[in-house]
Amino acid sequence: MTSKRILMGNEAIAFGAMKAGLQVASGYPGTPSTEVMETIASHASKYGIYAEWATNEKVALETAVGAAYSGANTLVTMKQVGLNVASDPLMSLSYIGVKGSLVILVSDDPGPHSSQTEQDTRAFGHFSNIPVLDPSTPQEAYDMAKLAFRLSHEMEIPVILRTTTRVSHGCADVVTEDIEPAGRDIEGYVKEPRWTIFPKLTAQRHPWLEDLQIRISDRFSDHFSENTFNSISKGNSKIGIASSGVSSLYTNEATNKQTGTFSHFKLATVHPFPEKAALEFLSDITDLIVIEELDPYLEEQFLQLIGRHHLDVNVYGKKNGHFPVSGEYDVDVVIEGVNSSLQSMNAEVPLLTHSTPVVARENIPSLPVRPPTFCAGCMHRTVFYAFKKAAAKLKKENGKGTVFSGDIGCYTLGNAQPLNMVDTCLCMGAGISMAAGLSHTQQYQEGNYAKQVAFIGDSTFFHSGIAAMISAVYNNADITLAVLDNRTTAMTGHQPHPGIGLTAMGNPTKAIDIAEVLRSCGVDLVETIEADDLGKCIETAKMAIEYEGPSAVVFKGKCVGITKATGQYVIDEEKCTGCNFCVSQLGCPAIFSMSSGIPQIQDNCTGCSLCAQVCPSDAIDLREVLQ
């Protein structure tokens, strides 16, 4: 039985995986991939699936690999920068292969909207010799998830299912099929020499891996008779367009008034490149326009193919400046790029026109600036402010400053004014390692810095902070670690982690105590305090910074994104002097400056009391306690 439902692309992938017989799923949350695992976890018990959030992407992949070696149908999920973390096992895995099936869902983030980079996973598939599928719609995401499992099982190799933000988070009608509980028995692990990678095995398997690329390329070229993932539409000119992913949708919309003009090659199986199909497409054209977000991956594949076969085809894309080399595309970007290409080739075809009038950027009314900031009542604001005050006291006492190394999570927003408390931010877990590196250089500059301070969240601590802290202790780095423990993975939607006491499937488990882990890493000074008492936070932060050698403070609090407000505060206008200290020092979105000079606290106040604790006039009072 089939049914039609509105699904987000990530949800469609989850349902496609479950329809394909998924048995084991593992991942680490990261926008825009998170909803795949959340959807699977919510249906896991019903369909007999084991699902887990791992401590990081490397562990997630290795867990899935172990299950696949036992013959299970497995899935691992992550965002594009998470693939960097998982790349160590990935590169070896392509040589070894799998016995069951293993699909690696990786979500790229053109823009970027919520990432450090605009990394393109298609290039990573090419680098690792692993097939890459690139859906353009939620329906294709569903269908290609099923294909990925079939292909992985047939070829005995992992398959990457690569999406982008607009596919992952876009919603559309998706035709799905009924899912049966996973009934296939897992064969179990069978000892074989192929599961242990050594140089000799690598040398033996590398020719197999290269031959496999040709077989898969041929298979992708032959898919035209099986499905519509790859398609060629013929036009009445000698101009062709090649595209993949969501760029194919932009292309269709941009050219909808001239659908008969251009031949269009829509690619969904992007690696290995389907050469036979591409040659068929190129045989009828003299000019090729390549439309793709991020890297010029398809463009380079076509250029190599054209050169190798000595074809007389001109290529227009990123490399000759017709399309942007970064950022997210839309219909307007595609129209501008195609028109630029047409003008360059002096084509005797009309330029593309916009379906709706384009408003010049200078005529667009300006919108209010809304810089990203912590939620009203976020515990992170209290901790950052406490360290700011503690560092100021130390500088006044001994003339030395402090460097604050940040990390990836909500607390990255500590870099914004008025807190301005994040001096470095690189990748997950790097805050600790960078603080350690700074400590080994700054100590030689006498009188420069008193201490290096690193901030890290609870989920990130488990992800990659532990190894960094062990290294810092082992190498005598003089750093202070502040762990911001709000008992959730807040940035990606409040997923559980090892410190919570619940698994992805909602089952109770042992909660790992961060303070005890730090002590076991060799940190001698470890303090745990609640983050609601500003005075105590300042005192503890100062003590930790002054301590010689590695020190740590675990600040505990609640994420206001998943807890109810405890109360609301109000400004006593008779006491308020209009100093605006609460506004200028905290940057809380619940407090606003008014033309009258007296700030106002809005209804989004959650009752954290930080403003009341910093008010020099004692003019902020608790109005009501909320139940």
18 token code pair: 């479950």
Q: Tokens 């609301």 — which residue?
A: 568
**How many beta carbons lie within 10 A of that of residue 575, not counting itself?**
12
Task: For residue 332, give both structure tokens.
Answer: 């307007």
199 membership: H or E segment, kind and range: helix 199-221
Backbone dihedral region for residue 218 (phi beyond 0: left; psi -120 to 50: alpha; all else: beta): alpha
* Residue 479, helix vs strand vs coil: strand
Show the tokens assigned to 416.
């914004």
CB-neighbour burial class of residue 317 (10 A; exposed 0-12, middle 13-18, buried 19+): buried
Burial class (CB in 10 A: 0-12, 13-18, 19+), 145: buried
Contact 331, 254 (CB under 8 A): yes
Angstrom CA distances, 591 to 370, 416, 571, stand at 14, 16, 10
CA gap 404, 422 in Å, rounded? 5
Alpha-carbon distance values, 214 to 114, 131, 205, 219 (Å): 36, 11, 15, 9
Decide: helix, strand or coil at residue 152.
helix
* Positions at the binding site for [4Fe-4S] cluster: 576, 579, 582, 588, 605, 608, 611, 615
Residue type, 534: L
Q: Which two tokens stand for residue 215?
A: 């077989």
User: Quick one: how far is CA 227 from the chain centroid?
Assistant: 30
Helix ranges, 129-198 (H): 138-155, 165-169
By the 10 Å C-beta count (0-12 exposed, 13-18 middle, 19+ buried), 176 is classed as buried
Residue of 402, 423, 426 whose CA lies nearest to 414: 423
What are the binding residues? Answer: 576, 579, 582, 588, 605, 608, 611, 615
Other CB atoms within 10 A of residue 581 CB:
16
Contacts of 449 (CB under 8 A, 6+ apart): 400, 401, 402, 403, 438, 442
Q: Which of 153, 151, 164 is nearest to 120 (CA)?
A: 164
Nearest to 73 by CA among 25, 123, 41: 25
Residue-by-residue DSSP string for 373-402: -PPTT-HHHHHHHHHHHHHHHHHHHHS-EE
Residue 11 burial (CB < 10 Å; 0-12/13-18/19+)?
buried
109: CB partners within 8 A, 6+ apart: 31, 32, 79, 80, 115, 118, 164, 165
CA 29 to the chain's CA centroid = 8
Gap between the terminal Cα atoms of the chain: 47
CA 496 vs CA 35, 85, 271, 509, 517: distances in Å:
14, 20, 34, 11, 18
Which token pair is 156?
Answer: 């005995």
